[in-house]
Amino acid sequence: MNIEQAVAQHARLQEVSDSSRLDAELLLCHVIEQPRSYLFTWSDRELSAEQVDAYKVLLQRRLLGEPVAHLIGSQAFWTLDLEVTPDTLIPRPETETLVEVALDKLAEGPYRVADLGTGTGAIALSLASERRRWHVVGCDRVDAAVQLAERNRQRLEISNAEFVQGSWFEPLQGTFDMIVSNPPYIDPEDPHLQQGDVRFEPLSALIADNQGMADIEQIADTARTFLNTGGWLLFEHGYDQGPVSRELLQRLGYTNVETIQDLGARDRVTLGCWRGSEDNAE
């Protein structure tokens, strides 16, 4: 089997993936330890028997639904290539919207920024890589996630980020100019939890009570204690949670509240500015 014939095996994945060809190419690149450009340049290169066997195993695992990121141990996000494990969510393109909005709200700094539920460190490291005068603290209640984020930080040589263990605000010290989060926001009864890649991701990082809003409510409430006057709170949420998220922030006393859509024109990020006024806060 040569490379072109191996890539053609993507047809087997069409029933489980909308990006079957890309999936196959990424799996094959992982096996032969080459970039995707190699597949096009050397499409007639013959694979060894060991490579064919390894590739077939990965194809079968993908056919059973395992995410490509778990199979190859990495995922591209923003401008970074991140190590990924089953201990955390797989960084998704939609979350890059959160990074874009955060970068737009604060300039070079210096500023202090917190990323709650950091997982792989995707958001924190993306922000820190773009704003070298920011100090970004990522926290996660899962020790394995903190260790993963730290490995990513060290490998990417990003010195202005750090990672600490604890639930939400628990390990944070001092106040911040911005707090960002991609918290659990899926309703536990959502049928999509039984479909696709999410079946292989930690449930605790996906679901929240109160129709997916419980963690967002806790973050929005407590963030008021940790934000400097004029500081920003930004969080990702589901496509149908924009209105309730805006109402929540307005009720808690945030100003300049708005919801930003992702590239698919779906509500994705809601943000608000904390002015420090207690008159409107609960």
Distance CA 90, CA 84 (A): 7
pLDDT interval class at 280 (50, 70, 90): very low
Q: Are residues 32 and 166 in the same domain?
A: no
Give which of 159, 207, 210 is closest to 183, Cα–Cα. 207
Same domain as 48, residue 111: no
Q: What does the pLDDT read at residue 191?
A: 81
Q: Spell out the alpha helix ranges (H) of 106-252.
A: 122-130, 143-156, 209-212, 214-226, 242-251
Residues 6 or more apart from 10 whose CB is under 8 A from it?
20, 21, 23, 24, 25
pLDDT tens per residue across span 247-259: 999 999 999 999 9
Segment 71-96, tens digit of pLDDT: 999 999 999 999 999 989 999 999 99
Q: What integer is the mean pLDDT of 251-279?
A: 92
The torsion defined by the Cα of 164, 166, 169 and 175, in degrees rounded to 10, comes to -30
Asked whether the beta carbons of 236 and 117 are under 8 A apart, the reply is no
Looking at the structure, tell me whether residues 153 and 111 fall in a common domain: yes
> Roughly what angle, to the nearest 10 degrees, separates helices 20-32 and 49-63?
140
Q: The CATH number of the domain where 188 resides is what?
A: 3.40.50.150
Range of the domain at 17: 3-65
Same domain, 168 and 238: yes
Is 98 found in the same domain as 22? no
Is 282 contained in some domain?
no
pLDDT digits (tens, 9 = 90+) for 9-44: 999 999 889 899 999 999 999 999 999 999 999 999
Statement to judge: residues 59 and 80 lie in one domain: no
Q: What is the pLDDT of residue 201?
A: 81
Please state the domain count of the chain. 2
Within a domain: residue 70?
A: no
Q: Which of 65, 94, 111 is the last residue of a domain?
A: 65
How far, CA to CA in Å, does 92 sit from each of 84, 105, 272?
12, 21, 23
Residues 86 and 108 in one domain: yes
Answer whether residue 137 shows pLDDT above 90: yes
- For residues 60 and 103, state if they share a domain: no
Q: How would you classify the pairing of strands 267-274 and 255-261?
A: antiparallel
Decide: pTM greater than 0.75: yes
Per the DSSP assignment, residues forming a β-bridge with 135 are 112
> What does the H/E/C string look like for 34-66?
CCHHHHHHCCCCECCHHHHHHHHHHHHHHHCCC
Q: Are residues 240 and 221 both part of a single domain?
A: yes
Residue 169 lies in a domain: yes
Domain-located, residue 186: yes
- What pLDDT, on the 0 to 100 scale, is given for residue 277? 63
Query: What is the chain's mean pLDDT, rounded?
Result: 93
227-236 β-sheet, strand order? 161-165, 134-140, 111-116, 176-181, 227-236, 267-274, 255-261
